[in-house]
């Protein structure tokens, strides 16, 4: 479980194709990573298998390659990193599982002084019923508030701190991001559609 509060931006320093997936080596300043630890990488919960000083290795499955932006990742790419919550940690963002639901595409970026208003377009199969204005969403693992929801997607406002501390400052029109719907919204919508009272 994660919060969507990025702890640092890492870099993919090596990429190896495997018979069914990929192995990524990531550079980071995290200390004491242990084998089997879950780390959210651009919002994707992956398992550290080879921790070392200043870096760690993860394996990316075919399903993850198909659903997330890791199918197009490259050496040198910056990625948002967050270690999993510990009991007693503050929950400053919202509940983020690291299980990406789909991808969204940047349709427009409007600069408003130091802030960015970004419009995202969702694929036809996206579950926009999981989105509500002023609700939560995770994009590349960053907990954000939805400004508006439209028939095609949604908008978010990026504040200067987010632009400084995450890789979202590198967004351009046409870029794709990993999208995870708010877990609570998914539970409520699924329960009500099944006729279960909540």
Token pair listed for 158: 């990026």
pTM confidence score: 0.93
What tens digit of pLDDT does each residue of 83-122 get? 998 877 877 878 899 999 999 999 999 999 999 999 999 9
Q: Which domain holds residue 123?
A: 102-193
CATH of the domain at 122: 2.40.30.20
Q: Are residues 131 and 184 in the same domain?
A: yes
Is 132 exposed, middle or buried (CB count within 10 Å of its CB: 0-12, 13-18, 19+)? Answer: middle
* 72 occurs within a structural domain: yes
Which of 83, 114, 135 represents a domain boundary (last residue)? 83
12 alpha-carbon distance from chain centroid: 16
Q: How many residues does the chain have?
A: 198
Q: State the total domains in the chain.
A: 2
Q: What is the pLDDT of residues 14-68, one digit of tens each?
A: 999 999 899 999 999 999 999 999 999 999 999 999 999 999 999 999 999 999 9
* 106 in a structural domain: yes
User: Are 145 and 68 in the same domain?
Assistant: no
To which residue do tokens 């640092």 refer?
Answer: 8
| Inside any domain, residue 136 | yes
């Amino acid at each position: 479980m994660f919060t969507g509060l990025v702890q640092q931006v890492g870099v993919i320093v090596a990429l190896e194709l495997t018979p069914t997936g990929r192995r990524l080596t990531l550079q980071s300043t995290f200390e004491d990573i242990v084998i089997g630890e879950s780390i959210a990488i651009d919002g994707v919960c992956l398992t550290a298998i080879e921790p070392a000083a200043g870096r760690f290795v993860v394996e990316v499955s075919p399903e993850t390659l198909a659903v997330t932006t890791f199918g197009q990742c490259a050496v040198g790419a910056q990625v948002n990193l967050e270690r999993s919550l510990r009991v007693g940690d503050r929950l400053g963002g919202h509940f983020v599982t690291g299980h990406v639901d789909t991808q969204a595409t940047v349709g427009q970026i409007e600069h408003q002084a130091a802030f960015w208003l970004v419009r995202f377009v969702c694929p036809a199969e996206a579950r926009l019923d999981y989105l509500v204005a002023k609700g939560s969403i995770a994009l590349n693992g960053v907990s954000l508030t939805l400004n508006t929801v439209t028939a095609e997607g949604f908008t978010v406002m990026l504040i200067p701190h987010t632009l400084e501390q995450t890789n979202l400052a590198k967004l351009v029109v046409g870029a794709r991001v990993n999208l995870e719907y708010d877990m609570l919204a998914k539970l409520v919508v699924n329960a009500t559609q099944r006729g279960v009272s909540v």
